[in-house]
């Protein structure tokens, strides 16, 4: 078996207006990407088309931060799958804990969005995670299994290989988050992989990237990425500066 691809991504969240995003994308376009590494960035909607255009011929995928499940209609403030696709995006981030906590996202709406993304040829990057309370009550594995099973309900056999998952403990993300222990992360990813095997079979499940996110930085990123069931990292503020993103990519490549 050849060396697996390590995914390294970051969402800019509500940062980098159009001018700053374009400058960052141009700097990203100059990076030399090591073999076996697949980087991606997820800019705000205001910059999605520009960033996609700048990185179109580079080995850096671009994604949207959210998406509605309908392809058109009276959904004020929403963005449809065809709109995301027309901007040039390759993937779409779905179910982030901030969307779940503050904007009413549910497992069921994530499922609708996953199916819509696949229909329009977008890779859904499905974020899953346990809250501090769920972690304290030791139901992390049950929570992750539920989120994965509902998110992937109705996904056809040939579509599973277009899926990306990112385990992000809610208690580990943000400025006040604390990095999770490596053994805990590996156990969670192993359990997620078992759920994927149940849904898609072992051969397919092994090819579905499961990333880790949550207080990932330059120091701990290589350690997380080296875990047997971790296929890369989804990084927050440590990767917002292009220099930080570059350093994390290089640390994982080596």
Residues involved in catalysis: 96, 168
Tokens in use for 210? 């499961």
Tokens in use for 125? 């990057």
- The helix/strand/coil state of 115 is helix
The answer to whether the beta carbons of residues 249 and 39 sit under 8 Å apart is yes
Task: Determine the length of the chain.
Answer: 254
Tokens in use for 3? 């060396």
Helix and strand counts by DSSP (H, E) for the chain: 11, 8
Question: Rounded CA gap, 125 and 166, in Å?
Answer: 7
Question: Rounded CA gap, 50 and 59, in Å?
Answer: 16
């Amino acid at each position: 078996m050849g060396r697996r691809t390590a995914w390294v991504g970051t969402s800019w969240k509500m940062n980098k207006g159009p001018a700053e995003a374009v400058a960052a994308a141009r700097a990203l376009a100059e990076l030399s990407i090591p073999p076996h590494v697949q980087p991606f960035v997820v800019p705000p909607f205001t910059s999605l088309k520009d960033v996609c255009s700048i990185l179109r011929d580079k080995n850096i995928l671009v994604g949207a931060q959210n998406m509605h499940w309908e392809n058109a209609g009276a959904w004020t403030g929403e963005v449809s799958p065809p709109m995301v696709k027309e901007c040039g995006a390759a993937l779409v981030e779905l179910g982030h804990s901030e969307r779940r906590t503050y904007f009413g996202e549910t497992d069921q709406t994530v499922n609708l969005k996953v199916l819509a993304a696949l229909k329009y040829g977008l890779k859904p990057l499905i974020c899953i995670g346990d809250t501090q309370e769920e972690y304290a009550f030791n139901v992390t594995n049950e929570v992750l299994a539920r989120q994965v099973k509902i998110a992937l309900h109705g996904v056809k056999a040939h579509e599973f290989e277009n899926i990306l998952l990112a385990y992000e403990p809610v208690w580990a993300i943000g400025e006040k988050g604390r990095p999770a222990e490596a053994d805990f992360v590996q156990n969670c990813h192993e359990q997620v992989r078992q759920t994927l095997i149940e849904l898609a079979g072992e051969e397919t499940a092994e090819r579905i990237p499961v990333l880790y996110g949550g207080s990932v930085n330059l120091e701990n990123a290589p350690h997380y990425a080296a875990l047997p069931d971790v296929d890369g990292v989804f990084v927050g503020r440590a990767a917002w500066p292009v220099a930080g993103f570059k350093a994390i990519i290089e640390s994982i490549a080596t």
